Structure 1
Amino acid sequence: MSTFTVETDRRLQVVDVTDRVREALPDDADGTATVFSRHTTAGVAVNEAESRLLGDYEAMLADLVPDEGWDHDELDGNADSHLRSLLVGASETVPVSEGDLGLGTWQSILLVECDGPRTRTVEVRS
């Protein structure tokens, strides 16, 4: 198991962490790698990391889940963040062969920040 941190600078932000995940893998890793967010307001997804698409992803999550009007907001004002990350999911499993990720041509591993800016911990198990 390996971990790394990601610094985010916006409340809702999608960050390409593919290279960081690749670096976290042992050279002889073979099978699968699970990439896991240790947070209830951030998630992990596999998709294309083209900058306009990342912006579209952020806009989609903002449109799907309004910022306000949730019961949990009475506690700490971030129910929208919890709900957005619930849609994304906390982890992805990716094939690994000879220490490298078995991603498709346009696939990247993305950390989806829903309650930033924050420092996030990502765990990689292979």
Structure 2
Amino acid sequence: METLSSIKLAVEKTNGSRAEKEEVRKSSEVKFLTKVFNFATEKHFELNNITAELLALVRRSGIQDGILNVSSLHTTMALFINEYQNALLDDIKSFLEKLVGQTDANHHQCNHTAVSEKGYKHNCAHCSDCDRQNTDAHLGATVLGHNLCLQIANGQLILGQWQSIILAELDGPRKRTLITQIIGS
């Protein structure tokens, strides 16, 4: 689904300051473009560079100045910005494995208040109704984040020289949805 709509803004001049005059000039019309991406991931853990798709979306929108908001609609799929380089991607995977660990439902202490070193309550059949045993994916997505907000200037998405927008599948393979919205003029 891709929609493009516009609304006119009425901007009141309270005084003649330069900042307000610039704002009035740039805020005469605001456009919104919403695009939903539906796709299937192939692996349990994968890192995908989605920068090219988002750059193309910004170009198609015709919006010159504004913001791009990108959101994962899943609690086990994350978004982040970093360099998309194979050795670094391997390091990111290793970092997440060390940080959140491999989950093991058999090592959880079922006293409903304590969690052992190697187990999580979310993976315990007695404590949770989740049968996927995917606490590590939830925690990894919590650390990485589910949403990005990026600036658009002069029709270009603003990214640093080595920055890429990376989608992290942490509990695949699954059908996934990503929603984007561009707001600007």
**Cα deviation digits, residues 24-46 of structure 1 (max 9, x gap):** 22122421111111100011001
Aligned to 1:12: 45
Unaligned residue ranges in structure 1 (runs of 5+) = none
Quote how far apart the aligned CAs of 1:7 are.
3.2
TM-score of the superposed pair, with normalisation by structure 2: 0.64
Verify the 8 A CA contact 1:7 1:117 in the aligned structure 2.
yes
Aligned to 2:173: 117
State how far apart, in whole Å, the 1-side matches of 2:172 and 2:65 are: 34
Q: In structure 2, the residue corresponding to 1:34 is in which secondary structure?
A: strand
Higher relative contact order (CA 8 A, sep 6+): 1
Aligned to 1:27: 62
Would you say 1:107 and 2:163 are equivalent positions? Answer: yes
Q: Which range moves more in the overlay, 25-34 or 47-56?
A: 25-34
Verify the 8 A CA contact 1:11 1:116 in the aligned structure 2.
yes
Number of residues paired by the alignment?
126
Unaligned residue ranges in structure 2 (runs of 5+) = 1-33, 104-118, 125-129
Equivalent positions of 1:1-126 (< 5 A) are 1-25=34-58, 26-68=61-103, 69-74=119-124, 75-76=130-131, 77-126=133-182
Q: Which runs of 4+ in 1 moved over 6 A?
A: none
Verify the 8 A CA contact 1:3 1:24 in the aligned structure 2.
no
TM-score of the superposed pair, with normalisation by structure 1: 0.91
**Cα deviation digits, residues 51-76 of structure 1 (max 9, x gap):** 21112111111111112111101222
State how far apart, in whole Å, the 2-side matches of 1:62 and 1:115 are: 13
Verify the 8 A CA contact 1:48 1:107 in the aligned structure 2.
yes
State how far apart, in whole Å, the 1-side matches of 2:173 and 2:48 are: 12
The structure with more radius of gyration: 2
State how far apart, in whole Å, the 2-side matches of 1:22 and 1:54 are: 21
State how far apart, in whole Å, the 1-side matches of 2:160 and 2:75 are: 28
Name the amino acid aligned to 1:5.
N
Quote how far apart the aligned CAs of 1:20 are.
1.3
Please report the RMSD computed on the Cα atoms of aligned residues, expressed in angstroms. Answer: 1.4
State how far apart, in whole Å, the 2-side matches of 1:124 and 1:44 are: 12
